[in-house]
Amino acid sequence: MSEQGMPPRPSGPVPTAPAVVRLTSPRKRIRGFTFIIIGMLALCVIRLIDLQIIRGPELALAAKDSRLQTFIVPALRGEITDANGNPIAMSVKARNVTVDQTLVKDAHGTAVILAPMLHLPVKTIQKRLTGHLRFNYVAHSITPELWAKIDAKHLRGILSEQTTVRIYPEGALAASLLGFTGYDGHGLDGLEYSQDKFLAGVDGNETIEMVDGAQIPTGPDSGTGAVDGGSVQLTIDDSIQAVAERALAKQVKAQHAVGGDVVVMDPKTFQILAMATYPTFDPNHADKYTAIQQRNSSVQDTFEPGSTSKVMTMSAVLEEGVLKPISKIVVPPTIRRGGTTFHDHNPHGTLHLTLNGVLAQSSNIGSIIASDKIGQDKFLSYLRKFGVGQSTGSNIPGEQFGLLPDPKNPNQWSGTTFPTLAFGQGLSVTALQVASIYSTIANDGIRLTPRIIAGTTDTQGVFTATQPSSGVRVVSPKTAKTVREMLESVVSAEGTAPAAQIPGYRVAGKTGTANRSRVNGPGYSGYTASFVGMAPAENPALVVAVMIHTPGGLHFGSLLSGPVFREVMMYALAHRKVPPSSKKRPNIPVKW
Q: Which residues are identified as catalytic?
A: 307
**Contact between 98 and 135 (Cβ < 8 Å):** yes
Nearest Cα neighbor of 307 from 420, 393, 208 is 420
Instruction: From residue 110, give the alpha-carbon distance in Å to each of 153, 299, 514.
Output: 10, 51, 64
**Contact between 343 and 365 (Cβ < 8 Å):** yes
Would strands 231-234 and 80-81 be described as parallel, antiparallel, or unpaired?
parallel
**Contact between 457 and 233 (Cβ < 8 Å):** yes
Nearest Cα neighbor of 249 from 292, 279, 285, 272 is 279
**Backbone dihedral region for residue 18 (phi beyond 0: left; psi -120 to 50: alpha; all else: beta):** beta
Q: Give bridge partners of residue 98 from the DSSP assignment.
A: 137, 159
Q: Give bridge partners of residue 53 from the DSSP assignment.
A: none
Q: What is d(CA 258, CA 552) in angstroms, rounded to the nearest whole number? A: 8
Beta-carbon count within 10 A of 319 CB: 21
Q: What is d(CA 229, CA 233) in angstroms, rounded to the nearest whole number? A: 13
Beta-carbon count within 10 A of 127 CB: 13
- CA 278 to chain CA centroid, nearest Å: 15
- DSSP at 389: T
Q: Which H, E and C letters describe 404-435, residue by residue?
A: CCCCCCCCCCCCCHHHHHHCCCCCEECHHHHH
Rounded to 5 degrees, what are φ and ψ at 237? -95, 115
Instruction: From residue 337, give the alpha-carbon distance in Å to each of 369, 417, 457, 501.
Output: 11, 9, 57, 36
- Angle, to 10 degrees, between the axis of helix 144-151 and the axis of helix 107-118? 150
Beta-carbon count within 10 A of 171 CB: 13
**Contact between 187 and 193 (Cβ < 8 Å):** yes
| DSSP three-state, residue 125 | helix
Nearest Cα neighbor of 507 from 436, 573, 430 is 573
For 128-177, list the strands marked E by DSSP: 136-142, 158-167
Q: What is d(CA 31, CA 143) in angstroms, rounded to the nearest whole number? A: 73
Nearest Cα neighbor of 156 from 207, 205, 210 is 210
Q: Which residue stretches of 266-335 are H helix?
A: 291-294, 297-300, 310-319
Alpha-carbon dihedral 516, 256, 243, 304, rounded to 10 degrees: 0
- DSSP at 52: I
Q: Which residue stretches of 5-76 are H helix?
A: 26-49, 56-67
Please compute, for residue 266, the number of CA atoms within 13 A of its CA located in the half-sphere on the CB side. 17
Q: What is d(CA 263, CA 547) in angstroms, rounded to the nearest whole number? A: 9
